[in-house]
Chain A
Amino acid sequence: MDRYFLIASTFCFLAAVVHTAIELRTKVFRPMRFNFVAIGLGFIFQTVFLWIRGQELGRCPITNLFEVFAFLAWSVALIYMVVGPAYRLSLMGAFTAPLVLLLQVFALIAPIDTRHPVTVPVNSWLEFHASMSLVAYGVFALACIAGVMYLLQERQLKTHHLHSIFYHLPPLTNLFAVITRLLWWGFALYTIGIVSGFFTGHPLPRIQVVAAIALWLLYAAVLQARHLKWLAPKRVAALCIIGFGVALALLWGITFTAELHHAP
């Protein structure tokens, strides 16, 4: 029953993607309002899904890969809803919708919604740790999206071939400022998430700890290099994409090992 809400949400994101694709084809971009509304609706359906699933489980709904991906998609939409209007980044929605759509389609299609009895009792620190880390992932996802937009804009400027989308993308320096802010926000949230993991009272699997710290170190290195001006904006943008790719892979690994760890 709760999956229907996730399916409805997926259709909302699909509508935003199709709308953008049509505008790309006709080379007329006015997707801002439509995409914002579609993503907003999708976000509401996602929230309902998570709420129902949470009620059913009696805990934060991140007990298997399916729920983790749904929660991550919700985080990305949430951060977009916050960042989009605040930073006034045109076309951010057009780039966010496909990512959320991919995450949700994967979650719905892949056989990962395995409901096994959870043996670990409800632990608020553990839930805080996991949910905060996933929200941080959502911020890193937005940084990745801003990175894609930066590289797209930069490429067109370098090659002198300006597609009509060029005139709707935010200016390079604005995009870079947003990337930097998102990286700091994501890093701060992820740090809180990792630190809270040490208060759970349970020994976490070593591989999870190592993976989480490795990702933390990766983003710390990017931020440090950015702060010391060792990296050109283009490389920071590329590292945002690589960083989120690594984060997704680690998330898979962490959730997979956690499922093994908690399985009866």
Chain B
Amino acid sequence: MNLFCIGLSHHTANVATREQFAGNATAETIARESGCAEALLLTTCNRVEVYAVSDKRISTDEITRCLMAKANLDPDNYSPPFYRYEDNKCVQHLFRVASGLDSMVVGESEIFGQAKKAYESARTSGAVGPYLHRLFQRAFRVAKQVRTHTDIARGAVSVGSVAVELAQRIFGKLSECKVLVLGAGETSERTTRALVSRGVNDLRVSNRSLDRAHGLAQTVGGRAVPFDDWVAQCREIDILLTSTASETPLLTSEILAPMLWERLDRPLFIIDIAVPRDVDPSVNELEGVYLYDIDSIRSVAEQSLALRRQQVAAAEAIIADHVTEFFDSISRGLTRLSQGVEHPSVGENPLHASEL
């Protein structure tokens, strides 16, 4: 049996190249047209990959032809930077992909769902046989283990997710938090949506234009607050998200400090994504106030990415163990097949039973 993977990813090809090969074929057509025993097509915004099993060697050009079948490109005059991995390299590559190690944002978890979808689609069409079934089941298990036993998926890497993560580090559950959104820009809307998705119920929106405040409040399920009243809201709120176009700071230590006495036991988390900043940096010196401007949010995102990169070695070690173990189990299976044991009993090997 020849197990291989042929593909293009963000590492080797730009989006213009990748889109030439996305959406033209299915796992079933690839298996049928190339003569593979089993095939699976994984297409995401960052990669187009074919995982296949065949009795004889199938050339990269053959798979390329299948992928570009409807793209009207001449494979003889067009040689995109396809990579090819075989046998244990292929297994290792899939485990890395499923675990998010090969992703543009290391450790992202979206790829896991995309791989599952690709597997389900290929299985439904009948393009997946026992070999790819075992391979992908193991890949999902490895991905889960990598996430559980390393910090590869820890830390947020976008403005919205950093804001949510920090809010959760301060308040725990966000469902009891009162949030004031000052300014109705696009970034604040995205960040507000991220907060709402994590359970924020009490949402207030304030803007110089009350109509825009009403508009955003309606979109995110909050209520509008007149712009003249927003400072007084700081007595009750837990999170302040600002993104106005003001040229001078709207909130200073002098304005905020007297209000803090009334809320000494409750922290105040301020996310200032406005440029120029809406909140004077000295506000961060006040007790119980945690001020994050756009630069500090970016810095947290970079720290998270650095933390994830530090985890790569630990993740690679887990993957290496599984690659070896997977090949051992496959060889044992082949040996047993050659000895005439076609259907090993389910309880005979719990590891394989769970895979099958």
Residues of A that sit less than 8 Å from B by CB: 26-30, 153, 157-158, 160-162, 164, 166-167, 169-174, 176, 226, 229-234
Contact = CB atoms under 8 A, between A and B. Distances in A.
B328 to A, nearest CB: 26
B299 A232 contact: no
Given A26-B314, A27-B307, A234 B170 contact: no
A162 B300 contact: yes
B166 interface: yes
Given A229-B265, A234-B287, A28 B150 contact: yes
A162 B172 CA distance: 17
| Leading 5 A-B pairs by shortest Cβ distance | A171-B172, A160-B296, A232-B287, A174-B172, A167-B154
B150 to A, nearest CB: 6
Given A157-B170, A158-B290, A162-B304, 12 more contacts: A27-B311, A160-B292, A161-B303, A162-B300, A162-B303, A164-B307, A170-B172, A171-B172, A173-B171, A173-B267, A174-B172, A234-B287
A172 B170 contact: yes
Given A158-B290, A160-B300, A171-B171, A232 B265 contact: yes
Contacts of A169: 169
B202 interface: no
Contacts of B307: 27, 164
Contacts of A162: 155, 300, 303-304
Interface of B: 148-151, 154-155, 166, 168-172, 264-265, 267, 284, 287-288, 290, 292, 296, 299-300, 303-304, 307, 310-311, 314
A176 B170 CA distance: 10
Contacts of B311: 27-28
Nearest to B167: A171
Nearest to B172: A171
Nearest to A174: B172
Given A158-B284, A171-B168, A171-B170, A233 B267 contact: yes
A226 B264 CA distance: 10
B264 A230 contact: yes
B238 to A, nearest CB: 9
A159 to B, nearest CB: 9
A172 B310 contact: no
A57 B84 CA distance: 76
B149 A234 contact: no
A123 B287 CA distance: 49
B233 to A, nearest CB: 20
A162 B264 CA distance: 24
15 contacts: A158-B290, A162-B155, A162-B300, A162-B304, A164-B154, A164-B307, A167-B154, A167-B169, A171-B169, A173-B170, A173-B171, A173-B172, A231-B264, A232-B287, A233-B288
A232 B172 CA distance: 18
Contacts of A176: 265
* Centre residue among B170, B172, B265, B296 by max chain A CB count within 10 A: B265
Contacts of A171: 168-172
Majority SS at the chain B contact face: helix
B264 A229 contact: yes
A176 B300 CA distance: 24
A27 B307 CA distance: 8
A172 B296 contact: no
A157 B290 contact: yes
Contacts of B304: 162
A232 B288 contact: yes
A26 B149 CA distance: 12
Nearest to A232: B287
B151 to A, nearest CB: 6
Contacts of B303: 161-162
Contacts of B172: 170-171, 173-174
A190 B335 CA distance: 70
Contacts of A158: 284, 290
Contact of B151 (A27, A157, A160, A172): A27
B29 to A, nearest CB: 43
A232 B286 CA distance: 11
A106 B265 CA distance: 37
Contacts of B264: 229-232
Contacts of A30: 148-149
A27 B296 contact: no
A161 B290 CA distance: 12
A234 B288 contact: yes
B3 to A, nearest CB: 31
A60 B292 CA distance: 54
Nearest to A236: B265
A167 to B, nearest CB: 5
A70 B12 CA distance: 63
B300 to A, nearest CB: 6
A260 B265 CA distance: 45
B265 A233 contact: yes
Contacts of A28: 149-151, 311, 314
A157 B265 contact: no
A153 B168 CA distance: 12
Contacts of A170: 172
Given A28-B314, A232-B287, A166 B265 contact: no
Contacts of B265: 176, 226, 229, 232-233
A164 B311 CA distance: 11
A172 B169 contact: yes
A122 to B, nearest CB: 46
Nearest to A169: B169
A27 B310 contact: yes
